[in-house]
Structure formats: C-alpha cells, structure tokens
Amino acid sequence: MKIAMIGTGYVGLVSGVCFSDFGHEVVCVDKDPAKIAKLKDGKVPIFEPGLEALMARNVAAGRLSFTLDLAEAMRDAEAVFIAVGTPTRRGDGHADLTYVMAAAEEIAHALDHYAVVVTKSTVPIGTNRKVAEVIRHANPAADFDVASNPEFLREGAAIDDFMRPDRVVVGLDSERAKKIMSDIYRPLFLRDFPIVYTGLESAEMIKYAANAFLATKITFINEIAALCERVGADIKAVSKGMGLDGRIGNKFLHAGPGYGGSCFPKDTKALARMGQDHASPIQIVETVIKVNDETKRRMIEKIEDLCEGSCRGKTVAVLGVTFKPNTDDMRDAPSLTIVPALIGAGAKVRVVDPEGRREGEHLLPGVTWMEDAYEAAEGAEALVILTEWNEFRALDLQRLAGLMAVPRLADLRNVYEPDVVRAAGFVACEAVGRRLEGLPGRGLNEETDNEETGGAAVLVEEPARETAELQPGE
C-alpha cells in the first residue's frame, strides 16, 4: 500500500514509521521545515525509545521518506492520514480543529485519484463528516471516502503499542474504504490483534470515552489516596488489593500528582464541552477535570508542609518535569503547575530531567537546570520526585541525604518505601496516599511528630508489612 502521513509529531511519525515497517510505502509530510530537515538527516525530532533505529531501517529499505510537499506525498497514495495536533481551543475547552481542517483543504487540492482520507488525530464526534464536506467543497470532483482511525499509543512505549495494540478502531461507511483499511492493517489482523470496524461517530466517540475513562480511573485513585492519608490507610496496599480484582484491573491505579500530558487534559475538556453542547453533560468527566486540578494543588501544599509551612528562601530540587517517563513531552505536565507555584512561593527551584530540558527551558523560566539528582540535591532543603524516570527509581538515598542541607523528600510517585527513606537519613517525607509512619510529613522534629501522634510510639513497620502481606501468591 502507498500511504501519505500528514504530521510528523508523536503520533504521525510513529504511525508512519510503523506502517513502513509493515511493508507499506510511506511518505511523511510536515509543515515544519526544521522537522523535515532533521528527519531527512536520519534524526528523530522527539524522544521516543526505539524510534530512530526503526526509522533508519525503513528509510534504508526505501519504504519511508519525508517531504514538505503534500502533493508529492499524495502521489498514488491509496490512503492519506491526518495526524496533526488538536489542542484545546483557547477560551472554551473545545478541540481546536484548525490544523485538521487546513490539512483537509490541502488534501482536497492535491486529490487527483481515489484515496481514503483517514483521520488519526483525536477529533470531536462529527469531525470526519466535516472533513468530507471541506474536501467536497474545495474540490467537487474529488473521488474519496473518509475513515476515522483514532490512535491509542502511549508516548514512551509508542512502537510497541502500535505494533501490538489492544485493538485497532476503524470507523467508516464505505466498502471501498474498508478494503483499503483492512489491507493497511492486515499485518496486525494476521497476528490476531482485534480490528474493530464501526461507523464514523462511534469510532470518534471510542477514543474520547477511552481517554476519559482512564483519566477517571487515575483521578479516582488520587482522591482515594487523599482520604488514605487522613485515615491511615496505605494507597499502595489499597491499589494492589483493588487491582487484583479482574473487573477493575491494576493499570492506572497508581496515585500521583495528577494526570497531565498531550491527551488526557485536552480530551477530557473536549468531551465535557461536547456533552454540554448536546445537553447531555458528562458530569463524571467534569468532576474529574476539577479534582485533577485540585490534586495538583494538593501537591504544592504537600511540598510547603514538608518545608515546615513555607518554601520561601529554600532550595527545592525537583526530579523529573516531563508528564511521564520516557518522553520529552511537557504538554500539560503537572510540573508546569507545581514548579511555578513553588517559585511564586519564594523557593529557589533546581530541576533535573533526562529528556525534558529542551522543551522545559522555555516552559519553566526561573529554574536552574542540573545534570543529575546528586548535583541538584547538594545543599537543597527539599527533594521532590515528580516524574518517575528509571534513574530516579534507584537513587542512592543515603548519598542524597548526606548532600542536602536538610534531607526532606516529597516522593510524589511513591517510588520509595518509608523504612528505606528513614534508614537513609531523611528527616521528613511526604508521599501520596500513605502516611510515612516514623517520618513526620509535617515538621521535622520529634516534638512535632509526638504532638501529632499524641506522644504515642510510631509504628514504622506497619506500612511495609501491610504491603508485603498483599504480594500475589501469599
């Protein structure tokens, strides 16, 4: 098959590279000359594990190329994929379809043979039909069908997700288009990955409903985590105990600083707006959006509590600023709320991130970038784990504590067990959804702690034992 892919961002580039690896002939097109120049030079403009090698292999095999010229990309193409951004529209929360409609218009002018115009971007229900109208209006002679093919890949694991998907969703209403789409996805169909064919509207809705459900699951566990802190339960044990129920599942049950990223924030907002526009509000999702904002604010309070009520004048080292590990994507990352709030509260903020600096340098003014966690910790009065990159999962905590002016830790991803943190020499610690017994989260000294516990002996072993009891097989 011959495929044109419009947009070489996180979705378009991965999809284009993977389709070429299926054996199709793919031309990727982007408007951004710097991106295309990089790609022609064999370099991937984003950080996505494994992508550069897979791209090189398919370029070398002559199946994959890059261009700025859409008409050239579309020559003889049986399918044209739109994989451009659909950010939140300023002011009202709707998805901004400017890029999608501009791409549709450009496709219309270049369409001189039958092709399926496939929308891979996440778009509101009804958009595929609007894409068809735009093309028909701009080129009444155009011979084409539209198809909706939302993408479910996760940044950081994008290639594996594309090559081994839970399912592929294809919305269409033409047999001719179905034949082409099934040929494109045949390599996955032959390996028994489910391909779900639906109408256009259902395919569009599946994507929003799936993302909103996942955002709800994360937000649910974050709210349970807040209550755990009040009642003395441990969210890690609670998540484990819940997640082992096959009806619930253990994914997306990790408490943390709130969801962020390129999809959940904008897609939940767009779905909520669609519900309001159609007088069928999705109240759960409206609440999820609100609670997620509160969750991020709660993290700021935690860090302030850790710093004995105020960060003013204190040096705070933040580990990880991308919205999750294994990506350089900073879109709507919790760090973009938390770090400026710390600076606003008078903290001197140092940050470390293995891949986030390129984007982060414009987005986080006023921070000092450090090379690694140990450099960042030197002389600091609080250390915050905000994104759980692998290199922050196996830190030498004792060394860190020794380097800090006051060894305090806000472990906002619950990476470390309380007894390990304490044994390493930290004098105060905050986590999410678990009270670190024996380590005061609020205040540093014995007295504060004794006041809080009414002078009772602190039970250091309890959370660790509770978790251990819940290991599978025991």
Ligand X SMILES: NC(=O)c1ccc[n+]([C@@H]2O[C@H](COP(=O)([O-])OP(=O)(O)OC[C@H]3O[C@@H](n4cnc5c(N)ncnc54)[C@H](O)[C@@H]3O)[C@@H](O)[C@H]2O)c1
Q: Which residues bind ligand X (CB under 6 A)?
A: 6-12, 29-32, 35, 83-86, 99, 102-103, 106, 121-122, 151, 153, 155, 262-263
Q: Which is nearer to ligand X, 48 or 353 (CB)?
A: 48
263 catalytic, yes or no?
yes
Cβ proximity to ligand X, 84 vs 351, nearer residue: 84
Query: Which CB, 12 or 407, lies closer to ligand X?
Result: 12
* Nearest CB to ligand X, comparing residues 169 and 415: 169
323 Cα distance to chain centroid: 6
In the bound state, the residue with its beta carbon closest to ligand X is 9
Ramachandran angles phi, psi of 282, nearest 5°: -100, 85
* Closest CA relative to residue 193, chosen from 153, 166, 154: 166
Alpha carbons 45 and 10: distance in angstroms, whole number: 9
CB of 227 to ligand X, least distance (A): 31
Evaluate whether 438 touches 464 at the Cβ level (below 8 Å): no
Distance in Å, CB of 196 to ligand X, minimum:
16
User: Whose CA is closest to 54, among 18, 15, 103?
Assistant: 18
Instruction: Tell the burial category of 201 from Cβ atoms under 10 Å away from its Cβ (0-12, 13-18, 19+).
Output: middle
Separation CA 182–CA 159 (nearest Å): 20
User: Which residue in 228, 263, 307, 311 is the catalytic one?
Assistant: 263
Shortest distance, position 13 Cβ to ligand X, whole Å: 7
Least Cβ distance, residue 63 to ligand X (angstroms): 20
* CA 454/CA 447 separation, integer angstroms: 10
What would the 3-class secondary structure string for 304-368 be?
A: HHHCCCCCCCCEEEEECCCCCCCCCCCCCCCHHHHHHHHHHCCCEEEEECCCCHHHHHHHCCCCE
The smaller minimum CB distance to ligand X, of residues 292 and 315, is found at 292
φ/ψ of 464, rounded to 5, equals -65, -45
- To the nearest whole angstrom, how small is the minimum distance from the Cβ of residue 87 to ligand X? 8
Residues belonging to the active site: 263
